A and B are shown apart, each in its own frame.
Chain A
Amino acid sequence: MRLTTKTATLLALVALIALAPLFFPSAFYYRVGALIFVNGLAVTGIVILTGWAGQISLGHAGFAGIGAYACALAPVHLGLHPALAILLGAGVSAVLAWLVGRPILRLKGYYLGVASLGMGILISMVLNNERDLTRGPDGIDVPDLGLRAALKTAGLDLSNGEFWYALCGIVLVLGAWLALNLHDSPTGRALRALHGSEVAARTVGMDVPRLKLQAFVISAVYASVSGSLLALQNRFITPDVAGFMHSVEMVTMAVLGGVGSVAGAIFGAAVLTLLPQMLTVFAEYEQLVLGLVMVLVMIFLREGVVPSILRKLRGTGE
């Protein structure tokens, strides 16, 4: 039965990604779709960290910043291919998460919140202030990934929008597949167990600090790859990618959709990515509506939109 949850999620995701373009009113929506997938990827990492392992991070955008700037800087300064820069960013994020995570994951609740917040702010501050390297708050150009041109010579001619839509969609499906694998694996079970009761998790032999660290590192890699894809797609990046509001956005998307489930979190990413696009006409009301949505969903659909609706459908409401 749990196997079907995984298969169903993946099938639904693939079907949605493949079929949605049929209903696009304009080519612009390829771009919106790609943004949803990029956010969905970061949010899937949050599901692992917060939804399963129960640990809060208010600084994960810092890792997205590392992934993004790796793609901006490594090709220029190290002569690395942008694709390898994605891996470099993920590697740097993983190492940093491992180093920072060890001390801060001993903290609980709000204390972990402020420590991760501090970490994120430190990263964004470096990106803002090291102008010689990052060009500061104005942002920096990012080289072309080069894959679209390669596909073209191979006979597959995609528009820029189509290409990024497809690539980000594939990466998101891959990320969701990995996360869903983890959910029912020994490690995933242990993460959810320590969320339920840390003391009981320890008595059955779980190395709780190590497990938390694993979740932290994995989610950092998700955020980093998401940042890389965002940078490569936009061909330009500013330090805002690492800012506090981006961290909050990630957590909000995950929790709004349903932080316990990959499908819910991706749904949350879709809603919060689409919302500003739909509100562009009423730009001045954007913050008002966003804030209101955040408060209302958390009050009335506590588990997040998707799990709450599923529960109602199954008739196992509270």
Chain B
Amino acid sequence: MSELLQFLFSGVTVGAVYALVALGFTIIYNASDVVNFAQGEFVMLGGMITVFAHAAGAPLPLAALLACLGTAALGVAMNKLAIEPARGAPVVSLVIITIGASIFIRGAAQLVFDKQIHSFPAFSGDDPIRILQATILPQSLWVIAGAVAVFTGLWLFFTRTLLGRAVLATSNNRLAAQLVGINTPFVMTLSFALSAGIGALAGVLVTPITMTSYDVGLALALKGFAAAMLGGMGNPKGALVGGLVLGLLEGLTAGYISSQYKDAAAFLVILGVLFFLPQGLFGRKSTDRV
């Protein structure tokens, strides 16, 4: 029982990170129909910038803020320089552009920072908290709280604010959104900033637990992509659920079966789900219009 609880705790922590990455995928996908494989690099940047800003003397909260803002600015730049010019390109070209951008960012990070593994102190110390018969790190609670806060914030933003609705309208029909006067380029800019900022936040939150280095982005991007697809691309609720499910699966597989095959369980489940629900758990069904 305590064992199960322990595995669940670690699963939820990892799942919360995946959910944050998946939410980032969702925001950009909704605004532009692009799956941004550089999403993992945003997470890496969040961690790395905080590490180096902190080392340079900035207090941790300021360093974290700088990391989120800096990464958001980079997200905007990426949209302007790489995504907007390729508007209308086929899916496979867009995949290559964003993977190219991610390789570029990784290459730049390796030059600007270094190839070492880094970390910074946890926000609320490293003393595990006992819950029932299991323990959880305070930093894990920060990660989980971060995911919940971001999801709630996004939900409020998309349903309660005019701007959020404009983003949703753009995702439903770009041309119609333009016709009713929505500034779609601004929506794109905003989406990339938001998505990159959320990615960076995930990096800030998780680095004290998992540590970071210039090359952690790819694995996170793949998991976040898988989580977003599992939930149904473009659906924030799907991203949250997909991320948590993926994290729990990994936690339980690592605990009960084999830690080497924890990724296998995740991808087997994804293949299984897509077999029965080709649009993911919460995805909209599309019909060919002829």
Contact = CB atoms under 8 A, between A and B. Distances in A.
Question: Do A and B interact directly, with beta carbons closer than 8 Å?
Answer: yes
Interface of A: 50, 56, 58, 103-104, 106-111, 113-115, 117-119, 121-122, 125, 128-129, 198-199, 244-245, 248, 251-252, 255-256, 259, 284-295, 298-299, 302
Nearest to B283: A111
Given A118-B226, A259-B92, A286-B107, A107 B97 contact: no
A302 B91 CA distance: 12
Given A286-B107, A292-B104, A110 B229 contact: yes
A287 B95 contact: no
A81 B130 CA distance: 60
Contacts of B97: 294-295, 298-299
A98 B237 CA distance: 34
Contact of A298 (B86, B263, B264, B275): B86
A261 to B, nearest CB: 15
B261 A129 contact: yes
Contact of B103 (A58, A110, A117, A287): A287
A259 B93 CA distance: 10
23 contacts: A58-B95, A104-B271, A110-B229, A111-B279, A114-B225, A118-B268, A119-B271, A122-B264, A125-B260, A245-B218, A252-B96, A252-B100, A255-B96, A259-B92, A285-B107, A287-B106, A291-B105, A291-B107, A294-B104, A295-B81, A295-B82, A298-B89, A298-B93
Contact residues of B: prevailing secondary structure = helix
B107 A290 contact: yes
Contacts of A298: 86, 89, 93-94, 96-97, 100
B91 A110 contact: yes
Contact of A56 (B95, B222, B275, B278): B95
Contacts of A245: 218
Contact residues of A: prevailing secondary structure = helix
A255 B92 contact: yes
Nearest to A256: B96
Nearest first, the 10 A-B pairs at minimum CB distance are A294-B100, A291-B104, A287-B107, A288-B107, A291-B103, A118-B267, A295-B100, A114-B229, A129-B260, A291-B100
A251 B107 contact: no
Nearest to A289: B107
Nearest to B230: A114
Contacts, number: 138
A115 B270 contact: yes
B100 A288 contact: no
Given A106-B278, A107-B274, A295-B100, A121 B229 contact: no
B106 A125 contact: no
Interface string B244-263: 00000000000000101101
Nearest to A287: B107
Contact of B222 (A103, A107, A122, A244): A244
B82 A299 contact: yes
Contacts of B106: 287, 291
Contacts of A295: 81-82, 97, 100-101, 104
A288 B103 CA distance: 7
Contacts of B261: 125, 129
B290 interface: yes
Contacts of B81: 295
B214 to A, nearest CB: 9
A287 B110 contact: yes
Given A291-B104, A295-B100, A298-B89, A121 B263 contact: yes
B201 interface: no
Contacts of A259: 92
B263 A251 contact: no
Nearest to B101: A295
A118 to B, nearest CB: 4
Contacts of B279: 111
A114 B230 CA distance: 9
A114 B91 CA distance: 13
B108 interface: yes
